Structure formats: structure tokens, C-alpha cells
Amino acid sequence: MTVSAAALKTATQTTAISGPASALMQKIKNRNAIVAVIGLGYVGLPLILGFADAGFPVLGLDVDANKIQKLRAGKSYVKHISDTSVAAAIGKGKFETSADLNDAAKADAIIICLPTPLTKQRDPDLSYIISTSKAIAPCLKRGQLVILESTTWPGTTREVMIPLLEASGLKSGVDFFAAFSPEREDPGNKDYNTRSIPKVVGGDGPDATALADALYSSFIDKTVVVSTPDTAEAVKLTENIFRSVNIALVNELKVVYDAMGIDVWEVINAAATKPFGFMPFYPGPGLGGHCIPIDPFYLTWKAREFELNTRFIELAGEIIANMPRYVVGKLSEALDTRFHKGLNSAKILLLGMAYKKNVDDMRETPTLKLIDLLEARGAVTAYHDNWIPEVPMTREHPEYAGRKSLPLNAAMLASYDAVVIVTDHDDVDYALVSKHAKLVVDTRNAMVTFDANNVVKA
């Protein structure tokens, strides 16, 4: 028998709970439950500020001492989150921060918001979740709620996190409560925020579901209850697989239409006027961010356990992974056709280091892959991005740490053989680029309003 989301939510609101669950529910309703968030990045920081704004005492936990220091000073390290928001939370007198995970023992509810990257073999790397679960297990106490938000394969909450927590001697659903609620943050999106984006919740049993639903409902406009943590985990993967497959499709169409002399951007914009049956997706130089380039392969990995192939997902990944090579090919062709110049020793300026426009996040950015490909062919590269003034140390590309953004001016543009627009930030002076760059390879349709013969779309 299938149960609707509405019926499930009604059930969580009407089911009687007792014992430690009842005590925690009362604390949540009174807003005196202490909420701890482990991992204060793009997901964890806005989440804990939301709880603080709703009146809960909050505890921010992160092993990065620099983040803790800034928060204690009332400063934000995420551009789209203001210092004012942080200072307001600190000013309430209920916002504490710590780099010691043992402090999780103080909390009534613990929310884990940690990275779940892939290995070089595209296998899930749950090391952050595993190490954190092991770290908090000894200080787990009866009546606590533990929620995982990190994107992962269906079954992680039940098969990985809960057993590690139960090593404490406490049992899920009896002594403590566990749930999964996928993060849905979209940094830089001015139309939606943590409060307005519906929150999916799936608990390990009805008490856990009811508690997690009540906690998030305290400040999020709408929650969507599903039957299990596995279902909630699958929801997140489905959302990002949908995007990945459609983005791969329009990138493949871009290659095909380009060969036919057709502008894929014009095609998409015209198709988008259809009021039904079509949703626009847009091509680019590759995919970045912490979700779409990674999450689909969590399901691919898990599917092998059931002797199933995810050919559609893997094909989409192959198409997207090939886009940086396509861009380099277009750049090489344009340099040869226009200037009889090869990539060897060519000076290339890349506009954009962030993975998407108007954010200071460069996780999985295609810019680094482009630099890899260009420098392997002998090109000299540099970048401009006011949002990423310096490349930080990353696990994937430690060799690029410390590279700094160059200023964007007429002399700088003219000194490069070509400019590649990778990220279409709003703060870039595209008129200046159009006027002074010898060649512009535009992967984002940023130059569409300029009738310039030095622009090549890629």
C-alpha cells in the first residue's frame, strides 16, 4: 500500500509519542532544544542561522578553527550571507561555536552537514560522515535526535550512520532518534533561501520522523514527510540526476547544432516559450558545484549492489566530462583560423573560477579542468574572478593553490591571445571584454548583446 506525503505528514502530527521522544518534542515546541550543526559551510551556516533566528539556542561545530574565529567575531565567510546575519545571531546570546565535536553532547538535536565527495574511481567517499559518527557516538545521550543532511546513496543513514552511533550502546528509535533530510541550498539564488525551500524529511521510525519534522517546521515554511530515510536520500539523488541528464542533453545538442551552424542558445530560448512540456536547461563548459557532478554516481555505485547498470546516468556523466575538451578544441580551432597560432605558448585568460555565477564557491569548477588541458598543451593561463581572489588548497588540485585573480582592464585583456568566459558573473564588464580582447570564446552566451566579430561560442 502506498501512502501519500500528506497522509504521512498527518500521521507524524497525530501519532502519540512517549518517553525520550516526548520530552524532546516538548523542548522543540518550546524552542529551548539546543540545536547543534556539524559542518558550517554553505549548507550548515544558513541552517544554524535559521534556527537561531527562530529562537533556538544553537551550537555551531566545525573543525576549521578559522571559521569558528570569524563567527565569534560576528563575521561571515560566505559572501551571500551577511555579517549582519551572523552578528544578529551572536547578539541573541544563544549562539555558541566550537571546534570540539565532543561538545555535541550539549545538544538535543545534532544535524550533520558534511561533504560527501567521490574518490578518483568515482566511488562514494563517506569518510567525513564515518569519522564524525564515530566521534559523536561516545558522547551520544538518551533522547537526542541526529539528522544527516549530506547527500549520499540510499541506505547510508540506516546502514552506516546508525550502526556507528549504536556502538554507544544506545538503540535508534528507542534511546535516540535518527533521520535524513537532504540539503537543498542553492547559493546565489535570490528567489529561494533555507526558509522558503521545502524540506524533505524521512526518519528511522515514526518518532524520529515526527521529531525531525517538528524541528524543521519551527522555521522552514514547508516540510515534506516521506516514509523512510532511504526514500529521502533517493529524493535528493533524483533531483540532481534529473538536472545532470538534462544538462548533458543540451550540451550534446550544442555540439550537434554547432556542426549545423545553428545557435543552441537561440533554439533553447525559443523552445522555452512553450508553456507546457518543456523546461529549459543550458549548456556550459562542464559542471561544477558540490551536487550535480557528484551525486548521480552515488546511485550508480549503489546500483551495482543489485547487479543493475545505470547507463543513462553514466552516459550523462561522460558527455558532461567531455565538455572542457570540447571548449579547448573550439579555442584551438579559433586561434588557428584567426591568427594561425597554436595553443603551445598561447596566453589564455579564463574569466571565472567559481563553478557558477555570483558565488564564491569553486568546488568541482570546470575552470581547473580547463587549466589542466590548456597547460598540458603548452598554453600559459591566468584567471580573473572577483568572487575567488585566490585559489585555496583543494584535495583535487593542490598544485593550483595560491594562484591569484588578475585585474580586468584594457591592457590586461589586450595582452592575452584569447579570453575564455567560463563563469558569467554579473560584475564582469563584458563591454570592456568585447572591445579589448583579441578573441573571446564564450561558453555561457554572456556576449549575446555584443555584435562583435571576435566572439566564438563554445
Which residue reads 533531483 in cell numbers? Answer: 239
**pLDDT value of residue 78:** 87
Q: Is the dihedral of CA 11, 15, 17, 23 positive or negative?
A: positive
For the chain, domain boundaries: 5-227, 228-321
Q: Do the domains 228-321 and 5-227 match in fold? A: yes
Q: Are 423 and 357 in contact (CB under 8 A)?
A: yes
**pLDDT value of residue 429:** 97
Q: What amino acid positions are annotated as catalytic residues?
A: 291
Report the chain's mean pLDDT, rounded to a whole number: 93
pLDDT at 44 over 60: yes
**pLDDT value of residue 4:** 55
| DSSP E strand boundaries for 35-107 | 35-38, 58-61, 95-98
**pLDDT value of residue 445:** 96
Closest residue by Cα to residue 35 from 132, 108, 140? 108
How far is residue 300's CA from residue 245's CA, in Å, rounded to a whole number? 13
Which residue reads 550508480 in cell numbers? Answer: 300
- 79, 89, 208, 358 from 85: Cα distances, Å: 12, 6, 30, 19
pLDDT band for position 394 (50/70/90)?
confident
**pLDDT value of residue 15:** 58
**pLDDT value of residue 1:** 41
**pLDDT value of residue 190:** 82
Q: Is the dihedral of CA 60, 62, 67, 68 positive or negative?
A: positive
**In the CATH hierarchy, which fold is given to the domain comprising 228-321?**
Rossmann fold (3.40.50)
User: For the chain, how many helices (H) and strands (E)?
Assistant: 17, 13
What tens digit of pLDDT does each residue of 220-241 get?
A: 999 999 999 999 999 999 999 9
pLDDT at 18 over 80: no
**In the CATH hierarchy, which fold is given to the domain comprising 5-227?**
Rossmann fold (3.40.50)
How far is residue 41's CA from residue 361's CA, in Å, rounded to a whole number? 10
Q: What is the mean pLDDT of residues 341-366?
A: 94
What tens digit of pLDDT does each residue of 68-127 get?
A: 999 999 999 988 899 999 999 998 888 999 999 999 999 999 999 999 988 877 788 999
pLDDT band for position 443 (50/70/90)?
very high
